[in-house]
């Protein structure tokens, strides 16, 4: 789906939803080994039924993905994401390092990435939940990786029009200078979609957010009321780790430096 980036994040501030206490996010991305594809699908189906596993985990989402991690309508049966919001950064870090759930995901995945993220700016909500900004809105240092999450519930009668705008914006995201990773995620086909992107630095993200195809898609989304609910968040990347052979050279260097 079109990515909101960071430019123009305004309106209701983070914390305006029903649960404004979450100030840290742990994200896991996995590509299952063939023997565990069925297990991964079971995690996706059971996801809405699983309650937060840690006392400081406020809410969580198990997310499917598009073919080869992309944004098209064809699903990827071997890919999954796990997005968990915490009220303390140390708790999110501990959960990534020590939880049995994350260990199971890593054991069953041929490729995996983990991210510890801190919201820098956020607008909107996700199933009534929101993210609070833990620190000031000051821009991170120029050499700091940043990330963006755009998610939306698309109104069914406008889905066809929305998806007609997506390809051009998605191509521009994949080709954007400074984009280290872009992954299409979602809770349900067609109507409940998300995009996670990782950027070399803030200027690279901002340049994409103001680009032609992306900017037009966002304008159309707002002017035509495509979304019944949406959340756009910019993150500081505190930690990243994993085994991701298909990583771009720039991302591969970052992963190697964490080993």
Average pLDDT value for residue range 166-179: 76
| Mean of the per-residue pLDDT values of the chain | 84
Number of domains in the chain: 1
Residue 7 lies in a domain: no
Answer yes or no: is 12 within a domain: no
Q: What CATH number should be reported for the domain holding residue 72?
A: 3.30.70.100
Q: Give the model confidence (pLDDT) of 91-141 as tens digits.
A: 999 999 999 999 999 999 999 999 999 999 999 999 999 999 866 556 667
**43 domain-assigned:** yes
What global pTM score does this model have?
0.87
Residue 191 confidence class, pLDDT cut points 50, 70, 90: confident
Q: Tell me the per-residue pLDDT of 51-94, one tens digit each, with 9 for 90 and over.
A: 777 889 999 999 999 877 776 678 889 999 999 999 999 999 99
Give the residue with greater pLDDT, 148 vs 135.
148
Query: Residue 6: inside a domain, yes or no?
Result: no
pLDDT in tens, 154-171: 999 988 888 777 666 666
Residues 6+ apart with CB under 8 A from 102: 28, 95, 96, 114
- Domain hosting 74: range is 24-258
């Amino acid at each position: 789906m079109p990515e909101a980036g960071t430019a123009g994040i305004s309106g209701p501030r983070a914390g305006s939803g029903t649960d404004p206490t979450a100030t840290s996010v742990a994200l896991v991305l996995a590509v299952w080994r063939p023997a565990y594809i069925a297990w991964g699908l079971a995690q996706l189906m059971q996801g809405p039924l699983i309650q937060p596993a840690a006392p400081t985990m406020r809410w969580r989402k198990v997310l499917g993905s598009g073919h080869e991690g992309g944004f098209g309508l064809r699903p990827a049966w071997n890919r999954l994401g796990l997005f968990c919001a915490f009220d303390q950064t140390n708790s999110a870090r501990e959960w990534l390092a020590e939880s049995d759930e994350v260990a199971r995901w890593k054991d069953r995945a041929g490729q995996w990435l983990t991210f510890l993220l801190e919201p820098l700016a956020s607008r909107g909500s996700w199933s009534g939940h929101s993210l609070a900004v833990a620190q000031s809105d000051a821009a991170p240092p120029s050499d700091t990786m940043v990330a963006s999450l755009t998610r939306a519930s698309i109104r069914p009668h406008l889905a066809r029009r929305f998806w007609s705008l997506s390809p051009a914006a998605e191509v521009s995201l994949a080709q954007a200078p400074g984009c280290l990773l872009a992954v299409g995620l979602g809770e349900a086909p067609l109507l409940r979609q998300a995009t996670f992107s990782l950027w070399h630095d803030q200027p690279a993200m901002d340049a994409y957010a103001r680009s032609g195809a992306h900017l037009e898609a966002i304008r159309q989304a707002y002017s035509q009321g495509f979304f019944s609910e949406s959340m756009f968040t910019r993150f500081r990347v505190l930690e990243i780790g994993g085994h991701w052979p298909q990583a771009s050279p720039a991302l591969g260097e970052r992963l190697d430096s964490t080993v």
